Amino acid sequence: MPDSNVINIAVVGCGYWGPNILRNLAAQKSTNINWICDLQIARAELIATNYSSAKVTNNIGDLLADSSLDAVVIATPVSSHYSIARKFLLAGKHVLVEKPMCTSVEECDELIEIASQKNVVLMVDHTFIYTGGVRKMKDMVAAGELGDIYYFDSVRVNLGLFQHDVNVLWDLAPHDLSIMDYVLQRKPTGVSAHGACHLAGSKIENIAYLTLLFEDDTIAHFHVNWLAPAKIRRILIGGSKKMLLFDDLSPDEKIKVYDKGLVLDNKTDSYQVLSGYRIGDIHVPKLDTREALSLEMEHFVDCIRTNKHPESDGDSGRRVVATLEAAQKSLARNGELIPL
Amino acid sequence: MPDSNVINIAVVGCGYWGPNILRNLAAQKSTNINWICDLQIARAELIATNYSSAKVTNNIGDLLADSSLDAVVIATPVSSHYSIARKFLLAGKHVLVEKPMCTSVEECDELIEIASQKNVVLMVDHTFIYTGGVRKMKDMVAAGELGDIYYFDSVRVNLGLFQHDVNVLWDLAPHDLSIMDYVLQRKPTGVSAHGACHLAGSKIENIAYLTLLFEDDTIAHFHVNWLAPAKIRRILIGGSKKMLLFDDLSPDEKIKVYDKGLVLDNKTDSYQVLSGYRIGDIHVPKLDTREALSLEMEHFVDCIRTNKHPESDGDSGRRVVATLEAAQKSLARNGELIPL
Amino acid sequence: MPDSNVINIAVVGCGYWGPNILRNLAAQKSTNINWICDLQIARAELIATNYSSAKVTNNIGDLLADSSLDAVVIATPVSSHYSIARKFLLAGKHVLVEKPMCTSVEECDELIEIASQKNVVLMVDHTFIYTGGVRKMKDMVAAGELGDIYYFDSVRVNLGLFQHDVNVLWDLAPHDLSIMDYVLQRKPTGVSAHGACHLAGSKIENIAYLTLLFEDDTIAHFHVNWLAPAKIRRILIGGSKKMLLFDDLSPDEKIKVYDKGLVLDNKTDSYQVLSGYRIGDIHVPKLDTREALSLEMEHFVDCIRTNKHPESDGDSGRRVVATLEAAQKSLARNGELIPL
Amino acid sequence: MPDSNVINIAVVGCGYWGPNILRNLAAQKSTNINWICDLQIARAELIATNYSSAKVTNNIGDLLADSSLDAVVIATPVSSHYSIARKFLLAGKHVLVEKPMCTSVEECDELIEIASQKNVVLMVDHTFIYTGGVRKMKDMVAAGELGDIYYFDSVRVNLGLFQHDVNVLWDLAPHDLSIMDYVLQRKPTGVSAHGACHLAGSKIENIAYLTLLFEDDTIAHFHVNWLAPAKIRRILIGGSKKMLLFDDLSPDEKIKVYDKGLVLDNKTDSYQVLSGYRIGDIHVPKLDTREALSLEMEHFVDCIRTNKHPESDGDSGRRVVATLEAAQKSLARNGELIPL
């Protein structure tokens, strides 16, 4: 697609996230928002007042029928991702779909296959991997600055809105699973999950704990919780050389790198220590503070123009869904370890 | 035992904790430290320079043979708790033993039985339940201020010394399990645990995650870690009425009580919410700041004098060991849920 | 002015703050933005794209000539506040002017006099007094919850943009002086100020300290700084009954009320104390989290409709300017105490 | 004095600080505590139970008459420092005196003169300059890492005991003035001070603000307060290259060095900026965590043995007292700038 051509993009789904996507899409060069679609037409019309070029509909058929449409961003409830994305991919449109990508690995596989056949971009909205903080963590791990990775411990808790269609696992954990997938660039071999439902009569877990095992001794753990009094968004990464604390709520010090670790010691003191530890400086790297969603939309448009594979591609979406699917199974089986 | 009589107490084991116990025991009214015992006699002699009345030995036989000895505090490595405590109980001495009480439930049961037969005090050094913060949490839960308890989430991580005889589970989790046992006053029905060993060649876990289930929907979770860059000691308790954050490292604000919670809402918004939430004031109660170990030693002496049952009795020690034993089994079975 | 009538409002000055004012003005019921004015016409045109009803000009004469115009918000550099506001007041328009109100008390007095003669609203944009936190502090002080006020200590420092027309005193201190004026509802009797200029060749102070004295022993102090590595926005208020900490950067705990204070003690210990202190609970009240600028615009419109006197009226603007003017004089005289 | 010889040291004054000094003195090699003196003989006797070699008296004449006595540490109330120190210096004893050194510059001068004539060590207990944090700040400033120093801003507030003999200025400010004196290695040219007394009937200031001016544009400021709800011990240092935040209450991150600063910019934007700013990494250096008082006592003993001039010598004590004396005068004259 020549760089000079305008890319026509539609947004399907105008709930909480859709307007943010629209704002960042509209700010990209040579893009045109030509459709805004929502089942509640009034909602679509309200949002569309800010985008004069956009037509409004509650019927995705109108979009599928529009041959000038190049790409679509799907920000609907999870359960509809697969069926909507499938239609647009089959129609040869580039697709960016909200996280989690689908409700099963099987659905993911089909979308990946269709996108490949149609040679269109299939991207998943793993927004966090476009933040300066997560990119810095990935770079540090890739450069070996932390040494071998011992553990990845993530906590994402707050007093959140209960979703009616997905539990806290499918709502919050995709963020952290996609971050881990991107930072470690490794695949877990099994997952174990526990959770509980505290809303009377609800079958929807509002708290969950996931443990991920790997081929070696690396261990990853996730705490997601909709019912916590204080907001905590924190990742600890322990490595053989250095350790890292990521606090997403800190305005200036999101990442702290600790020059700390174990020191093997041959002496055996029968009272206490098998080994000692080393304590050095702490470093707080400056991060890229540009808005992640803007960088992500830029990347989506760039992938469309240059026929590039996105960083958060269908495979990464599939890996996250595979873990969620297995975790859900483990949840139903009292934490049984489910292989991945 | 008449209040006027001096109680003669011995301390067995002069590692890290022994001197703290001695200092607080010596400060109690009408107590006399008459023996200090350690396998390394030089260590015992060094410590004894501050306690002029104490005789020194590396042989507990000397203590057992001393008919004037009333009570003993055992601060030796875990593996020896059972055999040493057993001898003193059989000799009719009151016993305060370090946490964890023993290495198995079977051993705990035997000690409890002997103490009962001999009508002597058997107490476990669950120091944290004598702190102002933990007592306040217990009082609040008992008074129903938090409502039904939804979850108990505990994190105790730091860059700690590796122990050569026990893993991080047996080293750190007794603190948090005894706190939960005391605050909730409820027994879990099962435990699942995961962990990993990162010290080359070591079979000793330095990181572990425990999930405890209960008869109802209450869930408890524990993260213990010897290899974290920053020190975190934090407990979150979620209740149907209020929620609580305990940060043991905060000098002035260890407990924050949040007047927050769910509000059931009959309206169903197809976009987002099944229910809303309520946000009110935060309250930071003033806590008793007296030294916990001093209050605990006072309690031990008081139990001896008045033939009272200690708050951290053998049964509480047994409950903690039962959970640790089951968690260790789960650890070996990839997180299999072990009934309690 | 009948409630049904639309109020026509113009905004003069489209720098950093103007667009925020426009957004909040436009959200008020029955208001119409009919002019957007800026010396740089291109800037005004850019901003006006979001306000389709607004005409654009770089000439305030166009606004003065528009008899349908009811009110104007002046968000220009400080030096022009007086001359612009004067013209609109004389033309019978209601005026809301940025802080600080003018560059001298004399100018303030003239504007107040004209507004009174013309019977129009004259309001100063002391935004902070419309925040939930500042209102809570004012209510607590007014209700006597803190007892007698001993001191008001304010720190507002960050790495800020150097202004080319005003120093840090005139740029940042109006925020804190207007907060103090509103919270304490008392007038200081004198001011002393120190500062320094660190930008090579600049005569514009980038750091300043102000001390305000009152008729009794109350003391107020302000630290304003454009060249601090970390952002601090904190007010301490000491009272005879309780004390208060306001941290504007805390997301959830902006106000902490400490039940702490002195306890007079007749005993005299020749070693240490003349008196002891009392330590009680800490309370974090829930605050109104609505956007202050929106509440302020609502108040401006309400004052126009109901011919009410604004909370941040010309007199409050004058009190702030009086302190700034005296502080500037003190700055030039090495901190000499200037009476107010 | 040959290194092999034991140094005999006495401590005069056993209030709050005396026992800390004794503990650290006793831990030095080849020192002997041979006298403990306090006006309240019972207090001296109580303390002496831990120092078996020490004789006890309430009469400093006993110490002066003891020819075996080499040195004395004076930890009495400020008003007596001069007269007691003078006697020991005249008797040829080495002297370490609590801060502030004396109540006037005149007294300081006389002590310095006598110490010089008698060729004995005269040291002032400016404990903070022996901490790892303050030493690190001094090293960084000396190495030019911060560039030119723009400002030194210090806050030391808490809910403290009211002293009956000195105000908050003489009680708390010596800490910060000695830190500044050591870190900047520069002399101020004038001081201005404000304060207030809030204890009914008291003439003793419990809150004070000091501003210190220098020959160039450097400015220093101090806030000391006995009546603050929260403990704050914080120093900000602004430099032309980097800036620094010292938070003495942070367990792990006492010093943060910000790679931040101004960037001169020739472009003039008529709306906002005269210059921009630069934001880089933050660095938290590892600090020496040894106990400052121990290092200080080691230094005192070392100065005695090697006839060395102490880092916190009489001159540094005099500089602190000079500032306090001038600040006290300024306090009485409404903040008038008093030359130094």
State how far the alpha carbon of A129 is from the alpha carbons of A149, A157, C58, in Å: 19, 19, 45
Determine contact: B200 vs chain C, CB below 8 A.
no
The domain over range D7-127+292-313 is classified in CATH as 3.40.50.720: yes
Both tokens assigned to A324: 């969620």
For chain D, domain boundaries: 7-127+292-313, 129-291+323-339
pLDDT in tens, C234-250: 999 999 999 999 999 99
Q: Do D228 and C209 touch (CB under 8 A)?
A: no
pLDDT in tens, C5-57: 899 999 999 988 888 999 999 989 889 999 999 999 999 998 888 888 899 99
User: Poorest-confidence range of B97-101, B277-281, C128-132, D145-149?
Assistant: B277-281
Determine contact: D161 vs chain B, CB below 8 A.
no
Q: Do C228 and D244 touch (CB under 8 A)?
A: no
Q: Most D CBs within 10 Å: which of A258, A286, A287, A289, as the mutation test of the D interface?
A: A286
Determine contact: C225 vs chain D, CB below 8 A.
yes
Distance CA C158, CA A35 (A): 44
B211: nearest CB among A209, A264, A271: A209
Determine contact: B267 vs chain C, CB below 8 A.
no
Q: Does the pLDDT at position A95 exceed 90?
A: yes
Q: Scanning every residue of chain C, which has its alpha carbon at the shortest distance from the alpha carbon of D161?
A: C273
Q: What is the DSSP letter of A336?
A: P
Q: Does the pLDDT at position D248 exceed 60?
A: yes
Q: Does the pLDDT at position B274 exceed 60?
A: no
Distance CA C133, CA B242 (A): 23
Q: Do C230 and A251 touch (CB under 8 A)?
A: no
Q: Do A335 and B276 touch (CB under 8 A)?
A: no
Q: Do C230 and A252 touch (CB under 8 A)?
A: yes
Q: Most C CBs within 10 Å: which of B244, B252, B286, B288, as the mutation test of the C interface?
A: B286
A286: nearest CB among D252, D256, D280: D280
Chain A and chain B share a number of CB contacts under 8 A equal to 182
Q: Does the pLDDT at position B223 exceed 80?
A: yes
pLDDT for residue B4: 59
Chain C residues in contact with B285 (beta carbon < 8 A) = 281
Inter-residue contact A195 to A223 (CB < 8 Å): no
The domain over range C129-290+323-339 is classified in CATH as 3.30.465.10: no
B279: nearest CB among C256, C282, C286: C286
D238: nearest CB among C202, C227, C268: C227
> Coil, strand, or helix at residue D164?
coil
D272 Cβ contact list (under 8 Å, min separation 6): C15, C16, C161, C163
Question: For chain A, what is the mean pLDDT?
Answer: 92
Torsion of CA A280, A284, A286, A290, to 10 degrees: 140
Q: Which of C97, C213, C228 is nearest to C159 (CA)?
A: C228
Distance CA D330, CA A68 (A): 79
pLDDT for residue C203: 83
Q: Does the pLDDT at position B163 exceed 90?
A: no
Q: Does the pLDDT at position D269 exceed 50?
A: no
Q: Do B281 and C281 touch (CB under 8 A)?
A: no
pLDDT for residue B272: 43
pLDDT for residue C164: 73
Average pLDDT over residues B149-175: 91
Using 50, 70 and 90 to split pLDDT, how confident is the model at D177? very high
The domain over range C7-126+292-310 is classified in CATH as 3.40.50.720: yes
Chain B and chain D share a number of CB contacts under 8 A equal to 8
User: Would the pTM count as exceeding 0.90?
Assistant: yes
Chain C and chain D share a number of CB contacts under 8 A equal to 183
Q: Do A283 and D283 touch (CB under 8 A)?
A: yes
Inter-residue contact A138 to A206 (CB < 8 Å): no
Average pLDDT over residues B189-218: 93
Q: How far is A186 from chain B (nearest CA, A)?
A: 17
Determine contact: D333 vs chain B, CB below 8 A.
no
Chain A residues in contact with B271 (beta carbon < 8 A) = 15-16
Q: Scanning every residue of chain B, which has its alpha carbon at the shortest distance from the alpha carbon of C284?
A: B282
Distance CA B2, CA A168 (A): 59
Q: How far is B252 from chain D (nearest CA, A)?
A: 9
Average pLDDT over residues C174-192: 98
Chain B residues in contact with C140 (beta carbon < 8 A) = none
Distance CA B128, CA B121 (A): 19
Question: For chain C, what is the mean pLDDT?
Answer: 92
Determine contact: D251 vs chain B, CB below 8 A.
yes
Chain C residues in contact with B284 (beta carbon < 8 A) = 256, 281-284
Write the ipTM.
Answer: 0.93
Determine contact: D143 vs chain B, CB below 8 A.
no
pLDDT for residue B269: 43
* Fold (CATH) for A129-291+323-339: Dihydrodipicolinate Reductase; domain 2 (3.30.360)
Determine contact: A286 vs chain C, CB below 8 A.
no
Q: Does the pLDDT at position A275 exceed 80?
A: no
Q: Does the pLDDT at position D85 exceed 60?
A: yes
Using 50, 70 and 90 to split pLDDT, how confident is the model at A16? confident
Q: Most D CBs within 10 Å: which of C158, C198, C334, as the mutation test of the D interface?
A: C198
Determine contact: D290 vs chain A, CB below 8 A.
no
D286: nearest CB among A253, A279, A285: A279
State how far the alpha carbon of C305 is from the alpha carbons of C31, C301, C309, in Å: 11, 6, 11
Q: Does the pLDDT at position C202 exceed 90?
A: no
Q: Most B CBs within 10 Å: which of A152, A236, A245, A337, as the mutation test of the B interface?
A: A236
pLDDT for residue C265: 59
D207: nearest CB among C197, C219, C245: C219
Asked if the bond preceding D100 is cis, omega within 30° of 0, the reply is yes
pLDDT for residue B126: 98
Using 50, 70 and 90 to split pLDDT, how confident is the model at C271? very low
State residue A227 phi and psi, 5-degree precision: -130, 45
pLDDT for residue A216: 94
Determine contact: D252 vs chain B, CB below 8 A.
yes
Using 50, 70 and 90 to split pLDDT, how confident is the model at D168? very high
Chain A residues in contact with B202 (beta carbon < 8 A) = 274
pLDDT for residue D271: 37
Q: How far is B230 from chain D (nearest CA, A)?
A: 9
Q: Do B252 and C282 touch (CB under 8 A)?
A: yes
Chain C residues in contact with D275 (beta carbon < 8 A) = 162, 199
Q: Which of C293, C333, C320 is nearest to C171 (CA)?
A: C320
pLDDT for residue B271: 37
Q: Do A283 and D284 touch (CB under 8 A)?
A: yes
Average pLDDT over residues D44-52: 87
Q: How far is C14 from chain D (nearest CA, A)?
A: 9
Distance spanning both ends of chain B, measured CA to CA: 38
Q: Does the pLDDT at position A221 exceed 80?
A: yes
Question: For chain B, what is the mean pLDDT?
Answer: 92
Distance CA D248, CA D179 (A): 12
B281: nearest CB among C259, C280, C283: C283
Q: Which helix (H) or strand (E) holds D82?
A: helix D81-90
Determine contact: C27 vs chain A, CB below 8 A.
no
pLDDT for residue D275: 58
The domain over range A7-127+292-312 is classified in CATH as 1.10.3720.10: no
Tell me which residues of chain C, numbers 229 to 248, contact chain D at a CB-CB cutoff of 8 Å: 229-230, 236, 238, 240, 243-245
Q: Does the pLDDT at position D270 exceed 60?
A: no
Give the number of C-alpha atoms closer than 13 A to the C-alpha of residue D77, restricted to the C-beta side.
12
pLDDT for residue B308: 93
Determine contact: B252 vs chain D, CB below 8 A.
yes
pLDDT in tens, D93-141: 999 999 999 999 999 999 999 999 999 999 999 999 999 999 999 999 9
Average pLDDT over residues A168-176: 97
Both tokens assigned to A148: 């071998």
Query: Percent of chain B scored above 90 by pLDDT?
Result: 83
Q: Most A CBs within 10 Å: which of B146, B198, B255, as the mutation test of the A interface?
A: B198
D111 Cβ contact list (under 8 Å, min separation 6): D82, D85, D86, D89, D95, D97, D101, D102, D122, D314
Average pLDDT over residues D85-95: 98
Residue B202 neighbours by CB distance under 10 Å: 15
